[in-house]
Amino acid sequence: MAGELSFFELGAGDSEQARTFFGGPFGWTFEPGPAEGGGFAIRTPNVPGGLHGGDPGASPYLFFAVDDMEAALERVRGLGGSVDDTDLGSGEESVARFGRFQLCHDDQGTPFGLHQPPAGR
């Protein structure tokens, strides 16, 4: 696994309202997400996703798969990119269920995310 689209995250002002909206046109199903976030895990026919509130007007976040988060972060920094300090659900339960996530920027400031799926997936 290296670089394929692994996960997407939608930010919205109100996660319940966004759940109703996005469930309509796409037929996605939602289940409660990490307890600390109050959001939802999104089941789609292909790439899994998430939805969180408190982020009105956010662009979708795209996460690309990596096998080793620490090595990938070193490569990002080594190529002139940066790694955000934002905690994206690093709790033990969240990591076991969803894996590790990290927001980054390339050397020109373009945002992207890295996702190390949970063990066994």
CATH number for the domain spanning 47: value is 3.10.180.10
- In this predicted structure, what is the pLDDT of residue 36? 55
- In this predicted structure, what is the pLDDT of residue 37? 58
Query: Which structural domain, as residue segments, surrounds residue 13?
Result: 5-116
Tell me the pLDDT tens digit for each residue of 61-92. Answer: 999 999 999 999 999 999 999 999 876 766 78
What are the CA-CA distances from residue 54 to residues 16, 28, 60 (Å)? 11, 21, 14
In a domain, 80, yes or no: yes
Strand ranges in 29-99 using DSSP code E only, listed in sequence order: 29-32, 40-43, 49-52, 61-65, 82-83
In a domain, 85, yes or no: yes
Has residue 7 got a pLDDT over 90? yes
- In this predicted structure, what is the pLDDT of residue 2? 77
In a domain, 74, yes or no: yes
Has residue 95 got a pLDDT over 90? no
| Overall average pLDDT of the 16-24 stretch | 90
Instruction: Indicate the residue type of 23.
Output: G
In a domain, 9, yes or no: yes
In a domain, 62, yes or no: yes
The Cα 81–Cα 109 span in angstroms is 8
Domain count of the fold of the chain: 1
In a domain, 121, yes or no: no
Tell me the pLDDT tens digit for each residue of 33-59. Answer: 865 557 899 999 999 999 998 888 888
- In this predicted structure, what is the pLDDT of residue 121? 63
- In this predicted structure, what is the pLDDT of residue 104? 94
